[in-house]
Structures are given as C-alpha cells and as structure tokens.
Structure 1
Amino acid sequence: MPSIDLNSDLGESFGPWPMGNDAAMLELVTSANIACGFHAGDPAGILNVLKIAASRNVVIGAHVGYRDLVGFGRRNMDPSSAELVADTIYQVGALQALAAAAGTSVRYVKPHGALYNTIANDPRQAADVIAAIKAVDPSLTLMALAGAPIVARARDAGLTVVCEAFADRSYNADGSLVDRRLAGAVIHDPEEISKRMVRMVRDKRITTIDGAEIELDAQSICIHGDTPTAVAIAQGLRRALDAEGVTLQSFVGAFHG
C-alpha cells in the first residue's frame, strides 16, 4: 500500500496578526514546517504551535528563510555565504530550543519561499544551506523540491533528502513552481487539488500550467498554511487519499491517526 507525508507551513502568525489556522491544520498533517522568526513568526507563537504539534505527534521541521519579515521571505536575496550559513544555523538552533521546551524535537529542515526556490538551482546558496545543516546536525533531513538539482547536491554531501510536491501550486514544464505573481500560480479549488495529488501519488505525474505532462516523484505533499482554503484543501486531500488506499505517514516514520 502506498504512503505519503502531508506537510504544511505553520507558526507564521506575528503578534496580534494571525496567519492561517494552525490548530486545525495540525489535526490533518503528518509533518509541520515551523517558521523560525526570520520570514514570519514570533517566539511565543512558535512555542505555542510546537506544543500543539507535540500533543498531536506531528513531526517538526525548521522552516528557515531569508531575513525578510516585510516580504514574508518571498523576495529574492543574495546574502554572502558567511551570512547565509550563520542565518540558517541560527534559525535551526532557535527552533531546536523552542521544540525542546515544548517536549518535541526538530527532525528536518525545509527552506522557505525565495530561499527554497533559489537553492533548488543555485549551487552556491545550496551549498551554504547544506553546510549549515551539517554543522548543526547531519542527521537532519532536508526537504526539497522534487526533481531539482538541490536533491542530488544534498545527497552527495551526505544528507538525507525528502522530495516534495505542492498541492496548491502550479508547475512549469521544467518542474519549477509558477511564479506567484502570475495568474494561476496558486490553486484554490480543493477538488481540483485532490485529483492532482491523487494522480501524483498513484502515477508520479502532474499536468503543468501549459498542459504538458511531467514526472513528479515525491514523498511529501505541501499545503501552504496561509492559503485561505488550506483546511478545506487538507480535509479533501486526506479523504481522497484514504479512498485510494494511501496511508498518511510522516517520512520519518511517525504515524498520525
């Protein structure tokens, strides 16, 4: 029977400004990418989300990003290697401390937004993030875009890599994500998303924004927690996967009932 991990970007609220419904998403996902304060999130909010995740046995990942609160980490940046390595270590370390206080631990790293998309192909920034993860804890898994060069680079460096697909994002023919500034980049219809992801799990294929068919081999599916229909998307996707006999299971082996 096939299995798949379901992850979401959480812990992104900031002070009195809420972002998404973390508590509801933590009832539905098997892994949670928790903001580390650079692109979103504040310490008290992050700690609270970690406590909820721990109570529900959801696996925790560090959602590290560029130092870009105003741009929500979605603006391209070019930090020096010294900065990027240190910033990544800093974020993972902060989340490790908060996770320990919440009775859980960080098991993987998933870069956020522009950093995620940049290191998918950029060898210098990819090497910096890989070096930072290895410096903190080489047993941490890296979550990366399925089919991107970063996957082989990280594996060659000795990291375990989990490839992911995006439930609510459109793809280009080269396997990259469609720029968020373009029409159709984000998919909101839960039924359409469920059909796309069931096919991806079953056939390892997905239809791109221009109608092409590409191979997509992923072990985890991401639903963005800040999408207005995130909870409905996750609920519909779980039902669709259950109907196909697919087991929802974290890639590190922790089950979510």
Structure 2
Amino acid sequence: MTYFVDVNSDLGESFGAYKIGSDDLVMNYISSANIACGFHAGDYNVMQHSVKMAAEKKVGIGAHPGLPDLIGFGRRPMKIAPQEIYNLIIYQVGALQAFARSNHNELNHVKPHGALYNMAVKDPEIAQAIAEAVYAIDPNLILFGLAGSELVKAGKKTGIPVAEEVFADRTYQPDGSLTPRTLANAMVEDATEAVSRVIRMIKDGKVEAVDGSDITINADTICIHGDEPKSLEFAKRLCTVLTENGIIIKRVGK
C-alpha cells in the first residue's frame, strides 16, 4: 500500500529586526508553508519574502492567522466573540492572499495559529466562525485543523475541503487534544520517538496519549514547528524516515 502525507511548517514568524527560525532551509523539506499574517508574528516584508520563497520552491502557500498578540506570540487565549474571530480571519487571510496574487500565485490553505487554533479545537462557535470566514474568502481553500477537532467538523459542515493535522513533537490528551504547552510533558523531545509516532499515525491511524491509551487519528498533514531550535534537524530526519518507510510527501490538494 502506498501512503501519502503533507508536511507543513509554521513560517514567516520573524518580525522587523527579530529573526525567528531557519525558514529558508526548512522550506526545502516541507510541502506546505503556513505563513504568519502580522497579528501574532510576521510583518509585510516577511510576508512578501515568505510568499516568494514558497513559490520558488513550489511549496503550498498557506495563511497562518492568529490572535492580535505579538508579545505573547499568539499563544495566550483571549475572550473574543465569534464575529470578531470571523473579521480577524478575513483581515489576515486577505492580506496574505494579496501577497500571493501579486506574485502570480494563489493561496492553498488556511491554518489558524496557537491559542486561536486550540480554542477552535473544542469551541464549535469559534470553529464555525473560522470556517465561514475561509468559505467567504474562497470556498476552495483547504482548512487545516487538529485531527478529529471541532474545527475539522466545522469545515466539513461549511462545505470547504479540510486537512486533518497531526503533530510530531507534541503529546496528546486522551480526548485527542494537544497537551497544553504550560505542562512539562507537552513536547516530545526525542526525535527518534517523534518520528516513530508519526509513522504509526500515518500507517496505523493511532497515537498514544499521555495516559497510555490509544487514540484513533487521521493524518493528512504533519506539522513541524518552524520556531523550535531543532526544527531544521527534525525536518531533515522526518523526510528521510518517511521515504525509508515508503511514505510519499505530497502537498494537500495536489
């Protein structure tokens, strides 16, 4: 049996004089780039550079909208009404869409960032607001959401294509949600273990939760965090092991 999977990374998160990640190098090992849109990270110069780089490397261009929280990197939950969520998605995705089109390209997908992403995992109203905003911009855009989450359900309900996302470097709770970053066991630090977990998610559709139970999971796309210190090293290793296991890296929607 032939297996296909998309590999995505959150990129374009530098801001002004502050450089985050090794985007130029990580881009060589992924099929989809989630580019920050200026609210949690990134700026207009970084957005332009990131879109151009993704286009040159034939990597899918995706918008990565977040909460308006530069200082907290978009990882602090906020109490925001669904209508405001809808508006901030329209605003940010529309901005990146303009950069893509000005470079003779189109957006491929949308993936919410950080706290906004996690809020949409469990809150159906927030998830629906995001899905409806994406639909209003372009019903052909693919919505990335945590596998089995409310965001995935909202995307399907709204009638837009969805990609169920799994995380190589994060641990899972028994309900299928990610372990909060505030907890000591949130990250999978060992690269060998992380890659092994990914292979099992793709081939067996299972991942072990922190309590030892198995969760059924659908892996359309794998996330590599571009802001992590070892992101480049891990991206290289993941691509090598996927190939060794007969898994073909292919952009979602292609």
Where do 1:30-109 residues align within 5 Å? 30-109=31-110
Residue 55 of structure 2 aligns to a residue whose secondary structure is helix
**Do the aligned residues in 2 keep the contact of 1:189 with 1:233 (CA within 8 Å)?**
no
Q: Give how far 1:222 is off.
A: 0.3
User: Which residue identity is paired with 1:80?
Assistant: A
- Give, in angstroms, the shift of residue 100 of structure 1: 1.9
Mean CA deviation greater in 99-108 or 35-44: 99-108
2: distance between equivalents of 1:21 and 1:202?
Answer: 29
**CA contact 2:10–2:35 (8 Å) conserved in 1:** yes
* 2:149 paired residue number: 148
Q: Which amino acid aligns with 1:220?
A: T
In the alignment, the residues of structure 1 paired with residue 4 and residue 158 of structure 2 have an alpha-carbon distance, to the nearest angstrom, of 27
Give the whole-Å Cα distance in 1 for the aligned partners of 2:82 and 2:9: 28
TM-score, structure 2 as length reference: 0.97
Deviations 1:194-249 (A, max 9, x none): 11111111111111122221111110000110111111111111111100111000
Retained in 2: the 8 A contact 1:54–1:103?
Answer: no
Per the TM alignment, residue 106 of structure 1 is displaced from its structure 2 partner at its CA by 0.9
In the alignment, structure 2 segments of 5+ residues that lack a partner are none
TM-score (norm 1): 0.95
Partner of 1:27: helix, strand, or coil? helix
Q: Residues of 2 paired with 1:46 and 1:189: CA distance? A: 32
Structural mapping, 1:1-257, within 5 Å: 1-253=2-254
Structure 1 residue ranges, 4+ long, deviating more than 3 angstroms after superposition: none
Distance (Å, rounded) in 1 between the aligned partners of 2:211 and 2:184? 12
Identity of aligned residues (%): 44
Structure 2: distance between partners of 1:180 and 1:171: 11
Aligned residues: 253
CA deviation after TM superposition for structure 1 residue 82, in Å: 2.8
CA RMSD of aligned residues (A): 1.1
SS in 2 for 1:175: coil
Shift of 1:71: 0.9
Q: Residues 189, 104 of structure 1: CA spacing in aligned structure 2 closer, same or farther, 3 A cutoff? A: farther
Partner-residue secondary structure (3-state), 1:106 = coil
SS at match of 1:8: strand
Match of 1:143, SS state, is strand
Distance in 2, matches of 1:81 and 1:200, equals: 32
Residue identity matched to 1:242: T
Mapped contact 1:51–1:103 kept (Cα < 8 A):
no
- Closer, same or farther: CA 83–29 of 1 in aligned 2, 3 Å: same
- In the alignment, is the contact (CA less than 8 A) between 1:165 and 1:221 conserved in 2? yes
Can you give the 5+ residue segments of structure 1 that lack an aligned partner in the other structure?
none
For 1:228 and 1:235, the matched residues in 2 are separated by 14
Structure 1 CA distance for aligned equivalents of residues 46 and 153 of structure 2: 35
Aligned-pair distance for 1:149?
2.5
Residue 80 of structure 1 deviates from its aligned partner by 2.3
Cα distance in 2 for partners of 1:62, 1:20 equals 17
Distance 1:52 1:96 in 2: 15
Choose 209-218 or 139-148, whichever is displaced more: 209-218
SS in 2 for 1:242: helix
Deviation of 1:188 (Å): 2.8
1:152 Cα offset (Å)? 2.0
Amino acid at match of 1:99: A
